[in-house]
Structure 1
Amino acid sequence: MSRSVSCNADSPCAGSKIGGCNVAQLGRLRREFLKVRPGWRGLCLLCFALLMQPIWVDDVSDPRLADYRDVRDADLRRKRGLFMAEGRFVVDVLLRDSRYAPDSFFLNPKSFEVLEPVINECGGDAPVYVAKQEVFSDVVGFDMHRGCLAVGNVGEALGFEVLIAQAAKEASLVIVVEGLRNTENLGGIFRNAMAFGASAVLMCPESCDPLYRKAIRVSMGGTLCIPFAQVTSWPAGLSRLRDAGFQLVALDLADDAIPLDELGLRIVPDRPVALLLGTEGRGISEAALDQVDHAVRIPMAPGVDSLNVATASGIAMHAVFAGNGGSNSKPGAPK
């Protein structure tokens, strides 16, 4: 099947014709198809998709590809409220499992062939730009063999209070990070959170952005489907977790921290847990540690004083997950 193109009324292609209709009319037609009774909807969408074509691009300087041309994450976020998803698996997560709406797609022919069904089903009216691999690489500025990018709309941030209320109701695990500025580590934490059923990730104001491209890629799309929020009042805001019924557990290297394998004896079953993580070097601040109920450490061989924070988070999340009998809630936010 072929994929639709989409333009606003002021764009140069808004009056172009496809199958006897202009693009703006086809956009409205697609929205009407979505109102059709479910029994007929699939047939209607199939007919609609057959009328449409992707936008083939062979000019590296095409202005419609500006978002994909040597653009830094911070520029996308600050200027336009967008983020970049990279790779077929991550783009599939963006479309099927996230609350974010795609703004556009930029694909090589193979990626378009693979993703066309899910784009037709979940891509809305976002335009799909397709280019040969050599043109694709020239646009993005390096040889990206995956040949698959999508720009998404950030939308409104989720509220801290809303997330902890939902997690408390489900008695699920929440991850809290302090001072984490490395996007790869943050992405790894989100990937672990997805694997072990954490329902949300909460961050101090100093932590990096989960919607930076590298964080999204390393998380395998976890930052797109696990809801997150910033705790603006830090570390005083941690008290709100306790007020909501959470047991606060921190990973710490202190000698008096209890071994991780004893945590199951200390926490109360059927009550939600908030797991607090800090950086490898500085660790968790004393002010934040003052808020926790239990400080735990991961036993290690002599001479080894720490683990990478993403690695340590996975070990700790598994301990909580296994202690709950593998029953943490499936992550997800209202779409």
Structure 2
Amino acid sequence: MKRLRVLAPTLALLGGALVATSTGAPTATASAGATATPQAHADRTGTPARSLPRIKEYVALGDSWSADVVFANADGAPDTTYAPIDCAQSHRNYPKLVAATLGAPRFRDATCGSATTDDFTQPQDLPAGGQNPPQFDRLTARTRLVTVGIGGNDAGIASAGMDCLNALPVASPVPPGSTPSLPDNPVPLVGSDLPLGGCKAKYTAGGHDRLSERIAASEPKLVAAFRAIHEISPDARILAIDYLSLVPDHGCYPTVPATDEDMAYIHDKFLELNAMVERAAAEGGAEFVNTFDPTLGHDFCQLPTVRYGEIYGPSANDPAVGVPAHPNAAGARAQAAVVLRYLRSH
């Protein structure tokens, strides 16, 4: 993903994290410190909730919004229990919180920053030289639960969101595409262009919406992925997890430095992305879990103790330096709560 440039202290923390040694322990249980928020014993209608199912083998697949990527937090560097350090998995991402609450004796977390559906079946090369094995390698015939959060990178919506960010409080007078592109960065913290906004104009130039086209083109990839999971793990429940409500429909400079027009555009693309994930789940035989609606009101524009994600990275909601424009620890807890509530009621 293309991401906003972060401050020098953030990069220093990342540099320290990336020199750590990666390890793999594919059958380990969830991190000892990972605990989900207590679950209510009744749903919102007051109906007593069912007990959580007994799951002996749970596998998590997905991209950075499932890995809940961080550079560093109270646990130290990113978790290397299940994937290389440059996947940037949080010790407390929603898969680990779900696994801890379920008490699944066999749990594997394949989620990784920048992942696409291609990385389900082939190794993913990572920015610090690591390599995440094909995510499907963690699946077995004994797997009984699979959570899948994928699609944003297939459609290129994350890097497009970075192109919406604007160092100015007003629309840039410079036409999109008229400034030189930035050089490639092995640690992708910047957009492809200077942060001068204009993402709507860039992606709708010529009268057609390239992001909408990419989202539509990603749908058959997700369908194929869900069907392939059924082939490998025929007795597993597959939960297709959508993208939580972090992207506002307006700017709020400087908290989210973008124009209202650009933010309304990228907000609409996230709605299209979630609708695509829901359609693909239905066609591919997965169960769709809506994390968007339950997280409304917690977007990037909200106060530090309210929002479920950070546009710049540093977070006061559980001290951490996260990857810009991603869920924070509160967002991970919210994702886990939605998944657990779904499992209780379905």
Pairwise same-fold verdict (TM > 0.5): no
- What TM-score does the superposition give when structure 1 sets the normalisation length? 0.24
- Name which one, 1 or 2, has greater alpha-carbon Rg: 1
- Higher share of residues assigned strand: 1
Greater share of helix? 1
* Structure ranking higher on relative contact order (CA contacts 8 Å, 6+ apart): 2
